[in-house]
Amino acid sequence: METRQAILARRTVRSFAQDPMDPALLRELVAAARLSPAAANLQPLEYVVVTEPGVREDIFDCLKWAAYTAPVGTPDPQHRPTAYIVVCVRQEYLPPIGSDFDLGAAVMAMLLLAVDQGVGSCWIRSVNAPRAAKLLGLPPELKLDSVIALGRPAEEPVAVDLEPGDQGKEVIRYWRDESGKHFVPKRALDNLLHWERYGGK
Ligand SMILES: Cc1cc2nc3c(=O)[nH]c(=O)nc-3n(C[C@H](O)[C@H](O)[C@H](O)COP(=O)(O)O)c2cc1C
């Protein structure tokens, strides 16, 4: 898949087919994250891959899904993720500007490579981090930041364009229609893009 196509096609997926994820692909995702840009090249991120069914269930219980539509959007037992990559930040390596930028870059690399390989993902930060950290045996110097839920998609969410006049906080709430299809409104390009100066068309 072309990079452009992967960027455009990526949507958050919250319903997954149950065939197991290829461990080699999970390794490849972390290998891609490893090569992402890092402030001062400190590379504070580490990753825990979870595939065992029992641990997957325990991690699932630490997650909150789709706040705008909950409980709709939480995967039912037949459509739960088949793997997780838990993203952690090693505290003693932290650059003075923080690791949020590294995290965004590394996670996006994994999400796009996942799309390229036919894998759907949901980047989750509503995590009961103390509970998940205990389950995974994380040492205190590793702070759990995010959980990436993965699996072959069992749904095809759609991005829809907001009208240029649609501004504000409410319009961006994603929703599901009667058939369960998930729609994600994206702000109009004309509201975000300014040519040469603010407001320039
Ligand atoms: C930093 C971050 C945290 C997120 N946390 C959650 C989460 O806790 N639970 C969830 O279901 N989705 C979560 N999402 C997914 C967003 O809801 C999703 O990206 C957004 O609705 C836009 O949809 P799209 O990814 O298909 O473009 C998160 C996304 C980001 C970038």
How far apart are the CA of 123 and the centre of ligand 1, in A? 6
Ligand 1 nearest-atom number relative to CA 68: 17
Asked if residue 51 lies in contact with residue 23, where contact means CB atoms within 8 angstroms, the answer is yes
- Give the pLDDT of the chain (201 residues) as one tens digit per residue: 799 999 999 999 999 999 999 999 999 999 999 999 999 899 999 999 999 999 999 999 999 999 999 999 999 999 999 999 999 999 988 776 778 999 999 999 999 999 999 999 999 999 999 999 999 999 999 999 999 999 999 999 999 999 888 888 889 999 999 999 999 999 999 999 999 999 998
Alpha carbon of 125 to ligand 1 centroid (Å): 8
Nearest CA to ligand 1 atom 26: 11
Domain 158-192 is classified in which CATH homologous superfamily? putative fmn-dependent nitroreductase like domains (2.20.180.10)
CATH 3.40.50.720 fits 3-151, yes or no: no
pLDDT of residue 96: 66
Question: Which residue has its alpha carbon closest to ligand 1 atom 15?
Answer: 123
Contacts with 63 (C-beta within 8 Å, 6 or more apart), sequence order: 124, 126, 127, 128, 147, 149
Q: Which residue has the tokens 């003075």?
A: 96
Bridge-based pairing state of the strands 45-50 and 83-90: antiparallel
Q: Using the mean position of ligand 1's atoms as its centre, give its distance from the Cα of residue 48 in Å.
A: 20
Calculate how far, in angstroms, residue 201's C-alpha sits from the geometric centre of ligand 1.
30
Which residues make Cβ contacts (< 8 Å) with residue 54, sequence separation at least 6?
A: none
How far is 152 from 8, CA to CA, in rounded Å?
A: 18
Q: What is residue 186's predicted lDDT score, i.e. its pLDDT?
A: 97
Q: In the chain, how long is the greatest CA-to-CA distance?
A: 55
pTM exceeding 0.85 = yes
- Residues in contact with ligand 1 by the CB-under-6-Å rule are 11-12, 64-66, 122-126, 157, 174, 184
DSSP letter for each residue of 52-80: -HHHHHHHHTTB---TTTTTTTSPPGGG-
Query: Which SS3 state, helix, strand or coil, does residue 5 take?
Result: helix
Start-end of CATH 2.20.180.10 domains in the chain: 158-192
What pLDDT does 166 receive? 84
Helices 129-136 and 53-60 pack at an angle, to 10 degrees, of: 160
Which ranges in the chain are annotated with CATH 3.40.109.10? Answer: 3-151
Q: What is the pLDDT, as a whole number, of residue 154?
A: 98
